[in-house]
Amino acid sequence: MKAKIFASIAVTITGAILLYAVTDFPNFGDPRSPANAGVGGGSSSASLYYIENTYRDTKVPNLVTAILADYRGYDTLFETVVIFTAGMAIFAILRVLRNEDAPSAPDPESTNRTIDGDHHRIIVGITCRIAVPLVQIFALYVVAHGHHSPGGGFQGGVMLGASFILIALSGSLRDALARFSEASYIRLASLGILIYAGVAFLPLVFGRNFVDYGALRGLLGTEGEEMARSHGIFGVELGVAFTVMAVMFAIFANLSTRGRLKGGL
Amino acid sequence: MEAFFKEAVVPHFNFWIYVIIMMIGLWSVIAKNNLIKKLIGLSIFQTAILLLYVSLGVKEGASIPIIDHHAAERSLVGDAGAINPDLIANPVPHVLMLTAIVVGVATLGVALALCQMIYKDFGTLEEDEVLQKIKALHDDV
C-alpha cells in the first residue's frame, strides 16, 4: 500500500512536469516543426535531405528502407547484433542441455497424440497447415519488396518467425523443431549477422568506407553506384531477416518449454 | 477552462497521450509487486515512447514516406519541385522505431527468461517474497 501511495505521488509529479513542458512543443502535424524541417523552420534537417536525395543516391523509393540499411547502416547492424545477443542470452539463461527426463513420467506429446487428444486440433491444425506456406511466401515478399513498398528485413523476419511459431502452436513444438531445428536456428541467426557484416565489410576491400555499398558496382556489374547501393541494401535486409526469424523462434521455443525444447504449450 | 483546452491540449494531444500512457507504465513499474506486471508496465512505457516518436514525424496532409515512381524519375532529370517534402511524412522516426520495436520484443524475451529462472529458483514472482528468500539465504551463510 505504501509503495502505491509513493508511486502515485512520484508519477503525478513527473507527469505534471512533463505536461508543463508540452506547450513549448510544436503542434501536432506541423510540417514546419524542428523535427520535420530543421531548427527554426528552416530547411536544413536530416529528414529533408533524406526525402530529397534518397532516390538519387540509392534508387530506392521507400525512404525507410534506404535510411535503415544505408544512411544509418551502422545503427541497424548493431541493432541486429542486439537481437542476436538477446537470442544467445536466452539460450544461456534457460537452455537445459542435460537430459533429465524421468523414465516414469509420460511424454506429454505422446498422450496428446491419441485420437481423443488430437480431436480438438483437427480444424486448427489443418487451417494452419494451409496458412503457413502462404504466410511464409508473403513474408518473403515483404523482405524482397521492401525497396518499393512497406516492408524489409525486420518485418519479414518477424513474419517468418511467426510462421514457425504458428506450427508450434497449432501442432506441437516437436513438429516445428523438425522443420527448424535448434542447430539450424542458431546457425541462421549467426549467418544473418555474417551476411550483414560481410556486405558492409566488402566496400573496405575496394578501398572505400564501411557500409558504402556504392563500391560494389564493379562486383555486382551494375551501371551506376546507385543500383549497387540498392542491391547492397537488399543483401543487408536479407541478413536482418535471417537473424530476426531465427531469434523470434528461439525465444518462443525456449520460453514455452523452460529451456527443455520438449513438450511445450 | 475551454481556452486552456483549445490552446494547450488540442494542438498537443499527442504529447498528452504519450505522457499519460508513459505514467501508467511508470506507475506499474514502481507500485506493482509482481515481476510480470512490472514487465507489462515496462512494455506500456515503451509503447508511449514509440507513440511519441512516430507522432513527431506526422505532417498534416502528408502521405507515407515512399516516393512515387513518376515524381522520383522527374526529380532525377532536374525537376526540383517533383518531390514535395510537405507531402511525405518524416521517415526518420519510422526508421528509429522500426528497429526499437523488434529490439524491444527480443529484450522482453530475455526478461521473461530471467523471470522463469527466478520462479524456478524461488517458487514465486512476487518481489518482496523473492527478496525475503534471498535474505534468508544470506543469513544462513
Summarize pLDDT for B102-139 with one digit per residue, the tens: 889 999 999 999 999 999 989 999 989 999 999 998 88
Closest CB from B83, B91, B106 relative to A67: B91
Single pTM value for the model: 0.88
| Per-residue pLDDT tens digits for B1-28 | 888 888 888 888 899 999 999 999 999 9
- Structural contact between residues A31 and B62, judged by C-beta atoms closer than 8 angstroms: yes
A127 vs chain B: nearest CA distance in angstroms?
27
Specify which residues A62 forms β-bridges with.
B66
| Per-residue pLDDT tens digits for A156-181 | 999 999 999 999 988 888 888 889 99
Domain range spanning residue A179? 61-96+122-265
Residues of A in contact with B75 (CB under 8 A): 52, 55-56
Q: Does some domain include residue A189? A: yes
Residues of A in contact with B27 (CB under 8 A): 7-8, 11
User: Is A63 touching B (CB cutoff 8 A)?
Assistant: yes
Closest CB from A4, A54, A61 relative to B69: A61
User: Is A151 touching B (CB cutoff 8 A)?
Assistant: no
- This complex has an ipTM of 0.89
Q: Mark yes or no for CB contact B23/A14 under 8 Å.
A: yes
Q: Mark yes or no for CB contact B68/A89 under 8 Å.
A: no
- The DSSP code for A25 is S
Helix residue ranges, H only, A147-224 = 153-170, 173-179, 182-205, 217-220
Query: For chain A, how many structural domains are there in total?
Result: 1
Q: Does some domain include residue A227? A: yes
A207 — phi, psi (to 5°)? 80, 20
What is the per-residue pLDDT for B2? 84
Question: What is d(CA A184, CA A192) in angstroms, rounded to the nearest whole number?
Answer: 12
- Short-list A47, A245, A58, CA closest to A158: A245
Question: What is d(CA A149, CA A205) in angstroms, rounded to the nearest whole number?
Answer: 32
Closest CB from A10, A15, A36 relative to B57: A36
| Per-residue pLDDT tens digits for B51-110 | 999 998 898 888 888 888 888 888 888 777 778 888 888 999 999 998 899 889 999 999
Choose which CATH entry (3.40.1440.10, 1.10.287.3510, 2.60.40.10, 1.10.10.920) describes domain B2-60+86-140.
Answer: 1.10.287.3510
Is the C-alpha dihedral spanning A59, A150, A86, A179 positive or negative?
A: negative
- Mean pLDDT over A19-36 rounds to 86
Name residue, grid cell 506429446: A109
Q: Specify the amino acid at residue B23.
A: M
